[in-house]
Structure 1
Amino acid sequence: MILELHAHTDHSRGKKIYYDGISSPEEMVKGAKEAGADGIFITDHDNISGALEAQKFGEKYGVKVFVGEEVSTKSGHMLALGIHELIRPGMTVDETLDEIHRQGGIGIAVHPFDIRREGMGYECLKCDAIEVFNSMNLDRYANKKAMKIAREKGMPVIAGSDAHWERMLGHGQIEVKSDNLEGILNDIKNGRVTIKKMEYVRLRTIMNMSLGKLRKSHDHILRYIEKNYSWPKKQISRCLLRLTTRDTIGLGSFYKFLTLIAFGSVVIYSQARRII
């Protein structure tokens, strides 16, 4: 059974950018089918409403849909797979794992060494498995370090697309022999996993996803700007946000330029971390 373990719907919320995911639950289920997956865990940030809604479309598209959550622990993000109740954010890694296990699920450390520092670092060793490939870790360093640590400690491993848009599915997939929830969780926990896909998301896809987030969150972002920013930051932010509503060649070139700058900074930073 080919699985997507790390996927977000538009039920995932950000702080400044309201919609962290831009596809509906149904679009993500349909996208999983088109990406060749037999099953998908919907793992929105700190909520399970998107996963519960997505389950309504599993039969329609011939995809098994399972409930998950990307939990914000005190130390970093953790996937809770196979749960049936919301796991509250803000607990320690140990407390979060206890609650996941109480519900019969498993906890996976995702992007533990990512340069945004949203992972839990070496506390990943407490989890049931480690995500050693995340298709959004374009710096490569974070994935390589996660793989190195997992191999050294003999930890079970998985790959994840970390898809925030249906077009990002299919970049990080695993395969297991089981086709039911209990069996899948046991296979992952006991290392009976074959990593089927490890492909990085293209910069153009990231650019289009980012634009999609800004457009979908436009009204929320504008209110945030008006409430929290002062001159000249307020005026500049308004102008940049206004650009996202225009469908022009210049807009695409502008955001491509920003994307390339960001990618270059990521590469330089990751290389510096290797040296230091």
Structure 2
Amino acid sequence: MGYADLHIHTIYSYDGTSSVEAVLKYVAEYTDLDVIAITDHDCITGALKAQDLAPAYGIEVIPGVEVSTSDGHVLALYIEQPVPAGLSLIETALRVGELGGLCIAAHPMAAGTSSLDFKTIHAALEHAEVRRILVGVERFNGGLVYTRRNPWVEAMASALPLAQVGNSDAHVLRMIGQGATYFPGTTAAELRHALEQATTEVRKGHGLGGVEVLRDFIPRYLLRKMGWVVHNSGPHAPLRLARMSQALQNPMLGSAHGAHM
């Protein structure tokens, strides 16, 4: 049995505070995770970089994107090409399916961020092809203050005919794994099978509370705005603060894969 965190952000997200290398270093040395997914906002560049670097850190990475659909955010996993933002949930799921990927409904009904509602999810699942692609729902999200322990949301998510998933939605390193998915196996391929068969379970972590926002996220976010992020220069090097490149400091610049930060 293994653990996965399928919702992690890097500096390729406008609000991420750690480089791809730093995320890999932290996961390898400070968590019990077997598999992770990098899911930056509407950008796949960091995920593909993480997939290339992951063997050196001894972990498996699923490339993905947190896609901003017109209905709310959805995690697109097991894809290696970007998916356009702004499409409906159904259109997005079909695009992800064409790329060989799977979708997970991210933080449904969450306040303060663009989220799917359960009516939209149910409507999408009436589409036969979408049912094959939209396979999971984020029942626990450790990164959203005040919403992650909403018992009504958890009950509604549990009632869906989907794999039940826990994720961190980490934007700072110490959040990674504070919300995870328990699955039969230890590999990305075995995790995919578990998602498709809905045999996953949720592990709830400490999550991000008001104190953690003030202590951890806001200082890191302000440093990010000034061009400083947590970085790692190699598997055997320590984590440290480093300056971002000018390209990553400017969110208006496109990535090499045509997606924005």
For normalisation by structure 2, the TM-score amounts to 0.76
Amino acid at match of 2:117: G
Residues 38 and 128 from structure 1, CA distance in 2 versus in 1: closer, same or farther, beyond 3 angstroms? same
SS in 1 for 2:96: helix
Equivalent residue for 2:225?
217
SS in 2 for 1:43: strand
The structure with higher relative contact order (CA 8 Å, sep 6+) is: 2
Matched, 1:6 2:7: yes
Query: Unpaired runs of 5+ in structure 2?
Result: 125-133, 228-261
Shift of 1:146: 2.8
Identical aligned residues as a percent = 29
| Superposition pairs of residues 80-229 of structure 1, within 5 angstroms | 80-122=76-118, 123-125=120-122, 126=124, 127-140=134-147, 143-207=150-214, 208-218=216-226
Shift of 1:2: 1.3
User: What is the distance in 2 between the residues matched to 1:44 and 1:170?
Assistant: 16
User: What is the distance in 2 between the residues matched to 1:100 and 1:143?
Assistant: 29
Whichever of the two has the greater Rg, that structure is: 1
Amino acid at match of 1:215: L
Out of 124-133 and 111-120, give the one that drifted further.
Answer: 124-133
Equivalent residue for 2:231?
none
Aligned pair partner of 1:63 in 47, 53, 59: 59
Query: Unpaired runs of 5+ in structure 1?
Result: 14-19, 220-276
User: What is the distance in 1 between the residues matched to 2:149 and 2:83?
Assistant: 26
Over the aligned positions, Cα root-mean-square deviation in angstroms equals: 1.9
For normalisation by structure 1, the TM-score amounts to 0.72
SS in 2 for 1:128: strand
Residues 146 and 129 from structure 1, CA distance in 2 versus in 1: closer, same or farther, beyond 3 angstroms? farther
User: What is the distance in 2 between the residues matched to 1:90 and 1:187?
Assistant: 29
Aligned pair partner of 1:29 in 21, 24, 29: 24
CA offsets per residue over residues 125-155 of structure 1, 9 Å max, x none? 3332110101123314664333211233333
**8 Å contact kept, 1:112–1:142:** no
**8 Å contact kept, 2:111–2:147:** no
User: What is the distance in 1 between the residues matched to 2:148 and 2:52?
Assistant: 38
Equivalent residue for 2:129?
none
Equivalent residue for 2:69?
73
SS in 2 for 1:154: coil
How many residues align? The count is 213
**8 Å contact kept, 1:10–1:22:** yes
Amino acid at match of 1:204: V
Please identify which structure carries the higher helix content.
1
Shift of 1:119: 0.4
SS in 2 for 1:86: coil
SS in 2 for 1:44: strand
User: What is the distance in 1 between the residues matched to 2:148 and 2:179?
Assistant: 17
Shift of 1:210: 1.7
**Structure 1 segments of 4+ aligned residues over 6 angstroms from their partners:** none
Shift of 1:57: 2.7
